Amino acid sequence: MSDATPKKRKRINVRRPDVMEKVQAEVQRHYESSIVEKIRANEGSLTVGHTTIKLARQFGFCYGVERAIDLAYAARKVFADNSIYLIGEIIHNQEVNRQLEDMNIVSLPWKEMNEQYDQLTEDDVVIVPAFGAPTSYIEKIEERGAAIVDTTCGDVMKVWRRVRTYAKQGYTSIIHGKAGHEETRATASRALGDAKDGHYIVILTLADTDYLCGYLKGEISSANLMKRFGHAVSEGFDPEIHLQKVGVANQTTMLKSETEEIQKRVCRAITERDGKTENFQFFDTICGATQERQDALFEMLKNHMDLLLVVGGYNSSNTTHLVEIGQEELPTFFIQNSDRLTSLQEIVHFDLEHKSEITTEYTNLLDTSKDVIVGVTAGASCPNNLIESTIQRIFELRGIDPKEL
Please give the average per-residue pLDDT across 46-54, as a whole number: 95
Other CB atoms within 10 A of residue 207 CB: 9
Other CB atoms within 10 A of residue 316 CB: 23
Q: Is the pLDDT of residue 46 over 70?
A: yes
How far is C-alpha 25 from the geometric centre of its chain's CA atoms? 25
Query: Are the C-beta atoms of 51 and 400 separated by less than 8 Å?
Result: yes
- Domain 30-62+289-404 fold is Cobalt-precorrin-4 Transmethylase; domain 1 (3.40.1010)
Largest CA distance in the chain: 77
- Residues 115-140 have pLDDT tens digits of 999 999 999 999 999 999 999 999 99
The residue among 194, 201, 138 whose CA lies nearest residue 172 is: 201
- Domain 65-152 fold is Rossmann fold (3.40.50)
User: Domain 155-282's class?
Assistant: alpha beta
Instruction: Give exposure, 346-380, as e/b (b: 16+ Cβ within 10 Å).
Output: ebebbeeeeeeeeeeebeebeeeeeebbbbbbbbb
Domains 30-62+289-404 and 155-282 share a fold: yes
Cα gap 328→377, rounded to integer Å = 15
- Amino acid code (one letter) for 39: I
Annotate the chain with three-state secondary structure: CCCCCCCCCCECCCCCHHHHHHHHHHHHHHHCCHHHHHHHHCCCEEEECCEEEEECCCCCCCHHHHHHHHHHHHHHHHCCCCCEEEECCCCCCHHHHHHHHHCCEEEECCCCCCHHHHCCCCCCEEEECCCCCCHHHHHHHHHHCCEEEECCCHHHHHHHHHHHHHHHCCCEEEEECCCCCHHHHHHHHHHCCCCCCCCEEEECCHHHHHHHHHHHCCCCCHHHHHHHHHHHECCCCCHHHHCCCEEEEECCCCCHHHHHHHHHHHHHHHHHHHCCCCCEEECCCCCHHHHHHHHHHHHHCCCCCCEEEEECCCCCHHHHHHHHHHHCCCCEEEECCHHHECCCCEEEEEECCCCEEEEEECCCCCCCCCCEEEEEEECCCCCHHHHHHHHHHHHHHCCCCHHHC
Q: In the structure, what pLDDT confidence band is assigned to residue 205 with cuts at 50, 70 and 90?
A: very high
The residue among 65, 60, 117, 115 whose CA lies nearest residue 86 is: 117
- Residues 179-190 have pLDDT tens digits of 999 999 999 999
pLDDT of residue 2: 42
- Residues 274-296 have pLDDT tens digits of 999 999 999 877 788 888 999 99
**Of 26, 183, 258, 388, catalytic:** 183
Q: In the structure, what pLDDT confidence band is assigned to residue 10 with cuts at 50, 70 and 90?
A: low
Distances (CA, A) of 253 to 67, 186, 300, 317: 17, 14, 20, 6
- Residues 296-310 have pLDDT tens digits of 999 999 999 999 999
Other CB atoms within 10 A of residue 6 CB: 11
Cα gap 29→20, rounded to integer Å = 14
pLDDT of residue 175: 97
- Residues 247-269 have pLDDT tens digits of 999 999 888 889 999 999 999 99
- The domain locations on the chain are 30-62+289-404, 65-152, 155-282
Cα gap 269→280, rounded to integer Å = 10
Please give the average per-residue pLDDT across 341-356, as a whole number: 94
Least confident of 7-11, 202-206, 240-244: 7-11
Looking at the DSSP assignment, which residues form a beta bridge with residue 288? Answer: none
Strand order in the sheet with 307-311: 45-48, 51-55, 372-378, 307-311, 332-335
pLDDT of residue 405: 76
pLDDT of residue 351: 96
- Residue 170, sorted as left (phi over 0), alpha (psi -120 to 50) or beta, turns out to be left
Q: Is the pLDDT of residue 7 over 70?
A: no
Q: In the structure, what pLDDT confidence band is assigned to residue 216 with cuts at 50, 70 and 90?
A: very high
**Average pLDDT across the chain, whole number:** 93
Q: What percent of the chain has pLDDT over 90?
A: 87
Please give the average per-residue pLDDT across 201-230, as a whole number: 98
Active site residue 183: yes
Cα gap 217→243, rounded to integer Å = 11
Q: In the structure, what pLDDT confidence band is assigned to residue 343 with cuts at 50, 70 and 90?
A: very high
